[in-house]
Amino acid sequence: MDPMNPHHAKASIVVIGYDDAAHVADAVRSALAQGTAVREVIAVDDHSTDRSAALLDTLAAEEPRLTVIHRPANSGGCGSPRNDGIDAATAPYVMFLDSDDVLPPGAVDALLGAAEEHGVPVTAGLCVRRELPSGREMPWERALYARRALIPHPSRRLRLAHDTLCVNKLYRTDFLREHGIRFPEGRYPYEDFVFTARVLAAAPRIALIPDTVYVWNVRRTADRLSISLDRADIGNWRARTEANRAAYEILLSAGEKELARAVHTKFLDHELRMYTRELELRAPGYRRAWWDLTRAYLATFDATDFTVNAAAPGRLVARVLLASPAPRDLPRLRELAARPARLLPPYTRASDGTPVWSSDLPQVTLDHVLHRPAHLLPAAVDAELRPRARGTLLRLRLHELYGRVAEAGPTSVDVEFIHRDDGRVGLRGTAPLLADRHGDTWSAEAPVELPALGAGTWDLRLTVRFRDGASREVTAHARGGPGLLRRRAIPDVHHGVLGVPGVLLVQPYRTHAGALALRTASGWRGMTEVVYRRLGRLLH
């Protein structure tokens, strides 16, 4: 073996794209930059109508390792071009890359090293979601890739069913071909759900590594949103449930009952909560169609799916849906679906004292909250922030929850404002929690020096501390209507000029999940930019 080239160019990287001339070259270059481990980069252009095809041909003329496949007609999805790449690959291993993403340096070396060391047909590493333009990175399935591991059978690590991405993995090419593992052809949103299920159903040994091997670029302001972001049409939800259903059936047919159940667990804890948080934003027709589709899909689940594995909030949302034929309690469901979950009042009990969702849905019991540890309770905290020139106070109110909060004994709350883009802490403080005279709420007030935050978008994070030393991290429910959540200008001594105070433009607002957050713009310039952006939206 050549010590300068230990992998002997063993990887084929398949890059797929459609009408993405702005990014496809960066994706291809990131694959070529992996070095001698890459035998070839196969770029599959799905009959683009922009400059993508010509751009790829120009790159191929300069780079002998780049091969371009031009599809004669657009497939309508991601599966067919990836299948073309599998068919064309000549290297022992294959990896997939989307045209708007990139591979970080050393990704293929890290994956190949683990694949060769353990002799496994599948090796997987960490993917990070990079929010653009801010650049903030969020690990995908961080716990799964916390350390190196060799999984002798997928059923030994059920969390593998949650990582439905196909792009953060290296596959042995002959493994895919021998088992006939391919993507669904044509237009099939969430095709990677099905592909991943087919891989797991083949029961491969899998090596996991903690290295970052894929950068998933998230562009929420793009002209054409990615499938995972384009959730405003009911067809997206229908496709998602159908892909989950197909993945479940594939695994069940292969005799992998626990992995199949893990698909349902993922749906309850991830997809159901994510779409529930957004349901209030949708039109009544969408809500009704979504409710009907979701109830029909949930009706196919086993009773066990609602009692084990999945986190309690997702199970409870599902039970409310199944118990009600029409949409209801959307604000409360939105808060329950948040991360971490918030269960807002009212806290109703059945005639026998059992905690229930509401008096007219007594069959949806909440008795699990009577046994949950304090640090897992879906505690509800209301928050109100009124920016003022002479000092701003953050007012918080923690609600009782069937006697559990009083039992835990809340003593104080830590307050942090976290920058949305880079994750830094702008302000932090601690305030005592004082019980009101009825004993069913606890209140706290914390001073907030808003000018010290500077410009940006800030999320409020709270940690409630109890007398036994336990704590619960929560987010706060934003109280108040437009009168409280409106933009204000306050003096900003931190950004003044020649001793004259500047201006900080401040707007508390409610996120999609109902939490309190804050937007700030520093100085007259920042204020002007906000006004111009607002005018631009009105004019367009």
Residue 78 and residue 213 share a domain = yes
Residue 186 and residue 55 share a domain = yes
Which of 338, 371, 404 is the last residue before a domain boundary? 371
Measured in degrees and rounded to the nearest 5, phi and psi for residue 38 equal: -95, 115
pLDDT of 504 reads: 80
Question: Rounded to an integer, what distance in angstroms lies between the CA atom of residue 139 and that of residue 160?
Answer: 15
User: Range of 438's domain?
Assistant: 376-539
Question: Is residue 189 in a domain?
Answer: yes
Residue 318 and residue 208 share a domain = no
Neighbours of 22 (CB within 10 A): 16
Residue 146 and residue 101 share a domain = yes
pLDDT of 4 reads: 43
| More confident: 195 or 422 | 195
Question: Is residue 468 in a domain?
Answer: yes
| More confident: 453 or 475 | 475
Per residue in 519-538, pLDDT (tens digit) is 988 755 544 554 455 555 44
Question: Rounded to an integer, what distance in angstroms lies between the CA atom of residue 13 and that of residue 90?
Answer: 10
Of 62-71, 462-471, 497-506, the least confident: 497-506
Please state the rounded mean pLDDT for residues 131-154: 93
pLDDT of 481 reads: 64
Task: Indicate the number of domains in the chain.
Answer: 3
Per residue in 148-189, pLDDT (tens digit) is 999 999 999 999 999 999 999 999 999 999 999 999 999 999
Residue 165 and residue 22 share a domain = yes
pLDDT of 332 reads: 96
Residue 512 and residue 383 share a domain = yes
Residue 153 and residue 50 share a domain = yes
Residue 489 and residue 427 share a domain = yes
Our measurement of the distance from residue 21's CA atom to the centroid of its chain's CA atoms, rounded to an integer in Å, reads 27
Question: Is residue 172 in a domain?
Answer: yes
Which of 186, 219, 252 is the last residue before a domain boundary? 219
Mean of the per-residue pLDDT values for the chain? 90
pLDDT of 1 reads: 38
Name the pLDDT band for 388 (thresholds 50, 70, 90). confident
Please state the rounded mean pLDDT for residues 257-275: 96
Per residue in 507-520, pLDDT (tens digit) is 889 988 899 999 98
Q: How far is CA 267 from each of CA 84, 320, 473, rounded to the nearest angstrom? A: 30, 16, 24
Question: Is residue 224 in a domain?
Answer: no
Closest CA to 271 of 263, 282, 283: 263
Asked if residue 476 has pLDDT above 60, the reply is yes
Residue 535 and residue 423 share a domain = yes
Exposure pattern of 54-92 as b/e (b: 16+ CB <10 Å)? Answer: ebbeebbeeeebbbbbebeebbebbbbbbbbbbeebebb
Question: Is residue 228 in a domain?
Answer: no
Sole residue written with tokens 């626990």: 258
Name the pLDDT band for 540 (thresholds 50, 70, 90). very low
| More confident: 266 or 437 | 266
pLDDT of 3 reads: 40
pLDDT of 284 reads: 96
Domain holding 211: CATH number?
3.90.550.10
Find all residues with CB under 8 Å of 64, minimum gap 6, and list them. Answer: none
Neighbours of 400 (CB within 10 A): 21
Residue 366 and residue 381 share a domain = no
Question: Is residue 2 in a domain?
Answer: no
Asked if residue 136 has pLDDT above 90, the reply is no
pLDDT of 439 reads: 77
Name the pLDDT band for 101 (thresholds 50, 70, 90). very high
Sole residue written with tokens 């999940």: 513
Exposure pattern of 146-163 as b/e (b: 16+ CB <10 Å)? Answer: eeebebeebbebbebbbb
Asked if residue 390 has pLDDT above 50, the reply is yes
Asked if residue 303 has pLDDT above 50, the reply is yes
pLDDT of 76 reads: 94
C-alpha distance across the termini of the chain, in Å = 62
Domain holding 496: CATH number?
2.60.40
Please state the rounded mean pLDDT for residues 25-38: 97
Q: What percent of the chain has pLDDT over 90?
A: 75
Strand, helix or coil for residue 1: coil
Whether 14 and 42 have beta carbons less than 8 Å apart is answered as: yes
Closest CA to 186 of 79, 84, 87: 79
Question: Rounded to an integer, what distance in angstroms lies between the CA atom of residue 353 and that of residue 370?
Answer: 12
Question: Rounded to an integer, what distance in angstroms lies between the CA atom of residue 466 and that of residue 459?
Answer: 23
Strand, helix or coil for residue 454: coil
Closest CA to 476 of 383, 395, 539, 401: 383
pLDDT of 122 reads: 98
Residue 497 and residue 434 share a domain = yes
Strand pairing partners for 150? 207
Question: Rounded to an integer, what distance in angstroms lies between the CA atom of residue 504 and that of residue 493?
Answer: 9
pLDDT of 500 reads: 41
Both structure tokens of 102: 């990139």
Question: Is residue 225 in a domain?
Answer: no
| More confident: 92 or 391 | 92
Question: Is residue 295 in a domain?
Answer: yes
pLDDT of 493 reads: 55
Residue 256 and residue 208 share a domain = no
Which of 371, 400, 421 is the last residue before a domain boundary? 371
Per residue in 314-372, pLDDT (tens digit) is 999 999 999 999 999 999 999 999 999 999 999 999 999 999 999 999 999 998 899 98
